[in-house]
Structure 1
Amino acid sequence: MSSKDQTVVIIGGGPGGYEAAAQSRVHGARTILIEEQGPGGSAVLTDVIPSKTLIASSVWMDNVRRAAELNIVEEGSSYTADVLGIFDRVGRMAGTQSAEITHRLSESGVELIRGRGSILPETADNGRRIVTVGERRFEADAVIVSTGARPRKLPKAMPDGKRILTWKQIYSLKTVPTHLIVVGSGVTGAEFASAFNSVGVKVTLVSSREHVLPNDDPDAARLIEEVFAKNGVNICANSRAEAARVVDDGVVVTLSDGRELEGSHVLMAVGAIPNTDQMGLEEAGVELDERGFVKIDRVSRTTANRIYAAGDCTGVFLLASVASAQGRIAIAHALGDAVEPLNLDQVSSNIFTNPEIAAVGVTQKQVDSGEVDCVSVTLPIARNARARMRGIDEGFVKLFARRRTRTIAGAVICLQYAGEFIFPLTLAVKNRLTVDQFANTFTIYPSISGTITEAARSLHKMVELP
């Protein structure tokens, strides 16, 4: 059957959904995208775009504070962060991005339907899957579930949108927090702690583990802790929040050891729950794991015929870039195009603290455990001439190389705008470049990227000749 004779129904309009929809139209299939909030989904409207817009403003405030080191001297009024103005810009940015996605999809011929989609357990006589939106009914040759995830809530700290907040609610505040307690020291908690601290809000970070970012590179996590401490973030380590309650014009967070923390607001960043309930997935034969995430293979297939899944609802690297890749892979497989299965070893990620933490490939934990046979080198960014010119002295570049093959196996960059510098190393990991191939590639002098090739040159004598 030609792609032009097929119908693809996509439930969820986040990165996995709208990328799948765009790719489906490239193949000429009739494409129906069902979304409750609007194209872009939570990623654009309440999550990724909003948080990174806030972070962009916070980084500029950090740069302003560094200005004196570069002999940029204030005359007259000083700069302060208009937090409510930032929140307003967040809303405008999210709305603009969603409108642009809507326009592109509509222009390409995607049928956009506002609502919540469900899958019926039975199939049509022709074997097609049946998807419903209210009273409407569609038959699909392929269904892609891309419904995302929502903030996890603690029973004794239920968000009210005023004092006890999720990351979706914080931008709707009408008053600026004077003391924000952030519960959770994973990626989301660390990013918000960094951002609000930089715009002048007092921050206390509650971590259930000994260190922040416990699942990420330990050297980078230690550096972030040092930066937090230097900037006045109070970290409550080995502390688990059990409850939060509103008192007068503030909140009280109760820890498991009985201690109480007082603040003006509390942000709950304690994980995510997949949006996979009450849409007929299990009845249709889609297997979920114990947490409710959809089980898929490397080409985005679920356990049910003709049903694929992409994005945060799968629990596979909760990154917008991965969601987009999963959506494109699902379309390629469903419509008979060439497919390159998802390879998580080649996925780059970024944590938008300041400094950022970008990583790709093997990890320090894998090397330390002996799972992979690699050598590594770490170079501080403070020795880089361009970094010194810009007043940057916090950060490092770490490279891993396989001992026998001399290929670059992974990297960690901890640096302001690290997410922009990880791309060449992602190319190196994907294409199995050797340290010598990478080291002998020209970089600009002076440049931050020069430290990356310098690290590769440092590995030259550390790996065995073939």
Structure 2
Amino acid sequence: MAVYDYDVVVIGSGPAGEGAAMNAAKHGRRVAIIEEQEAVGGNCTHKGTIPSKALRHSVKQIIEFNTNPMFRDIGEPRWFSFSKVLNRAEKVMANQVMLRTNFYARNRVDVYFGSAQFKDQNTVLVKGTAKGDEELRAKNIVIATGSRPYCPPDIDFNHPRIYNSDTILKLSHTPRTMIIYGAGVIGCEYASIFSGLGVKVDLIDTRDRLLSFLDGEISDALSYHLRNTSVKIRHNEEYDSVIGDGHGVIMNLKSGKRIRADSFLWCNGRTGNTDKLNIEAAGLEANNRGQLEIDDHYRTKVESIYAVGDVIGWPSLASAALDQGRSAAADLVGADNFRYINEVPTGIYTIPEISSIGKTEEELTKECIPYEVGQAFFKDTARAQISSQPVGMLKILFHRETLAILGIHCFGDQASEIVHIGQAIMRQEGKANTLEYFVNTTFNYPTMAEAYRVAAIAGLNRISNL
């Protein structure tokens, strides 16, 4: 068996692993990365973020074509199958793989395709590579293996009509009806995608409102627009059984309800990918969700081993995972630019999309912080009218006395882009992070960014009358 020595070995080539490998290589370390799949990119590229967002973009374009009166001069509304829309996503995935493969080659990071298992805290066995089994030794090891859908044992995921959020990408037809169990971020995103394709969706939520971590007004807006696209939302429900037959799937709920659909999509919970790593040989153990415990420098209880990305749990976002990987590498090489990632904007790619950063109204109320609200509704902005995207709003929460910005919440087209303007101002020091910045700054017109000025003026008008 061939044995190779490295400074750093990274397990997993998703955003977290890529961030760690690239940063360590930039600091002159000899780096190897191990990927279980046939191409780099991890689940983010092949099963999660990239395919689902590419799907969403295509569906959004279909909706725009079918609802814009101007396009009736071109032809009648069109129906598109899921498999046809998925072809576009596969092209994006291929481009991402090519891009990332080049990253590793250019930075001289050795890539091993195979499954990783610990032999001890400094040695990893890579099984099934092109050359057979190979052994990698390193001073530091970074675990960035990501997560996968949690699949309860009482549901038959081998049934051809029962899917999870990974296997749904193998769907070869477009069902007429679908049950989505789990109304978290992934469930809500897929509810938007399939309802946009004309599928009648039942969205089963185990809680009393959608995405309860969001500002209440934003959550309510999402519920309204999902229902407006014929999504049936059922709150406070839990499944009793899910049974697939030759005609579809029947779900029995504990409340006594019975729902039948052509297909079933499970989107309720994820598990860290640690069960095949033989982490016990390295002196590690995972919790009951397969996740690893780390300190505030991404170190596990074994000092030489780091863990980043979905395998450590919150926030389980590709954006945060990349920065976590970079920070872990900064710590292990002794660089002075380490930072713990704890201020992460949400990006929820429903139709319309949602993004936010900072406190919600509910949190500020509970903490007894004197705040006020400035709002701008997209239907009143010229750019939204021009682009025929009038749905949504920008909401700024600010301190009533200091005018410091406490939270930014955006619902509507390009929300995940718009939020970053507010994020940049929130991070400034002193008076530079107050509402007055938006009032005293000239924005291009017409733009969506102008909504910040509109919301800021509205907020100042609310406190000028007190």
Q: Same fold by TM-score, threshold 0.5 exceeded? A: yes
Tell me how far 1:209 sits from its aligned partner.
1.8
Which amino acid is the alignment partner of residue 43 of structure 2?
S
What is the aligned partner in structure 1 of residue 371 from structure 2? 374
What is the aligned partner in structure 2 of residue 250 from structure 1? 248
> What is the distance in 2 between the residues matched to 1:334 and 1:264?
51
Tell me how far 1:42 sits from its aligned partner.
0.6
> What is the distance in 1 between the residues matched to 2:6 and 2:441?
46
Cα deviation, 1:24-75, whole Å, max 9, x if unaligned, reads: 211111100011013111110111111011101111122123311xx44334
| Structure 1, 208-217 or 355-364: larger mean CA deviation | 208-217
What is the aligned partner in structure 1 of residue 381 from structure 2? 384
What is the aligned partner in structure 2 of residue 359 from structure 1? 356
> Quick check: 2:324–2:341 contact (8 Å CA) kept in 1?
no
**1:20-419 matches, cutoff 5 A:** 20-37=20-37, 38-68=39-69, 71-121=70-120, 129-134=122-127, 135-160=133-158, 162-286=160-284, 288-344=286-342, 346-370=343-367, 372-419=369-416
* Structure 1 pair 174–395 and aligned structure 2 pair: CA distance change class (3 A): same
| Structure 1, 381-390 or 9-18: larger mean CA deviation | 381-390
> Quick check: 1:347–1:426 contact (8 Å CA) kept in 2?
no
* Structure 1 pair 76–412 and aligned structure 2 pair: CA distance change class (3 A): closer
Tell me how far 1:137 sits from its aligned partner.
2.1
> Quick check: 2:201–2:232 contact (8 Å CA) kept in 1?
yes
* Structure 1 pair 452–177 and aligned structure 2 pair: CA distance change class (3 A): same
What is the aligned partner in structure 2 of residue 126 from structure 1? none
Percent identical across equivalent pairs?
A: 28
> What is the distance in 2 between the residues matched to 1:67 and 1:11?
47
Matched residue SS, 1:73: helix
What is the aligned partner in structure 1 of residue 130 from structure 2? none
| Structure 1, 395-404 or 149-158: larger mean CA deviation | 395-404
> Quick check: 2:12–2:34 contact (8 Å CA) kept in 1?
yes
> Quick check: 1:162–1:173 contact (8 Å CA) kept in 2?
no
Tell me how far 1:463 sits from its aligned partner.
6.9
> Quick check: 1:428–1:438 contact (8 Å CA) kept in 2?
no
Cα deviation, 1:91-126, whole Å, max 9, x if unaligned, reads: 3322331232112212221100011222234x5xxx
* Structure 1 pair 446–277 and aligned structure 2 pair: CA distance change class (3 A): same
Which amino acid is the alignment partner of residue 426 of structure 1?
Q
What residue ranges of structure 1 are gaps of 5+ in the alignment? 124-128
Cα deviation, 1:442-463, whole Å, max 9, x if unaligned, reads: 2112222111122123333667
Which amino acid is the alignment partner of residue 353 of structure 1?
T
The TM-score normalised by the length of structure 1 is 0.91
Cα deviation, 1:130-170, whole Å, max 9, x if unaligned, reads: 22223422221211100000001122223126200011111
What is the aligned partner in structure 2 of residue 426 from structure 1? 423
> Quick check: 2:331–2:338 contact (8 Å CA) kept in 1?
no
**Matched residue pairs, number?**
451
Tell me how far 1:196 sits from its aligned partner.
0.7
> What is the distance in 1 between the residues matched to 2:368 and 2:275?
37
Runs (4 or more) in structure 1 with deviation over 6 Å come to none
> Quick check: 2:375–2:459 contact (8 Å CA) kept in 1?
no
Which amino acid is the alignment partner of residue 53 of structure 2?
K
> Quick check: 2:6–2:32 contact (8 Å CA) kept in 1?
no
> Quick check: 2:181–2:265 contact (8 Å CA) kept in 1?
yes
Matched residue SS, 2:79: coil
Tell me how far 1:282 sits from its aligned partner.
4.4
> Quick check: 1:87–1:172 contact (8 Å CA) kept in 2?
no
Matched residue SS, 1:49: helix
What residue ranges of structure 2 are gaps of 5+ in the alignment? 128-132
| Structure 1, 382-391 or 173-182: larger mean CA deviation | 382-391
Tell me how far 1:272 sits from its aligned partner.
0.5
* Structure 1 pair 299–457 and aligned structure 2 pair: CA distance change class (3 A): farther
Tell me how far 1:374 sits from its aligned partner.
3.4
Matched residue SS, 2:68: helix
Tell me how far 1:403 sits from its aligned partner.
4.1
> Quick check: 2:44–2:318 contact (8 Å CA) kept in 1?
yes
Tell me how far 1:339 sits from its aligned partner.
2.7
> Quick check: 1:40–1:101 contact (8 Å CA) kept in 2?
yes
> What is the distance in 1 between the residues matched to 2:14 and 2:168?
20
> What is the distance in 1 between the residues matched to 2:461 and 2:230?
41
> Quick check: 2:59–2:193 contact (8 Å CA) kept in 1?
yes
> What is the distance in 1 between the residues matched to 2:62 and 2:104?
36
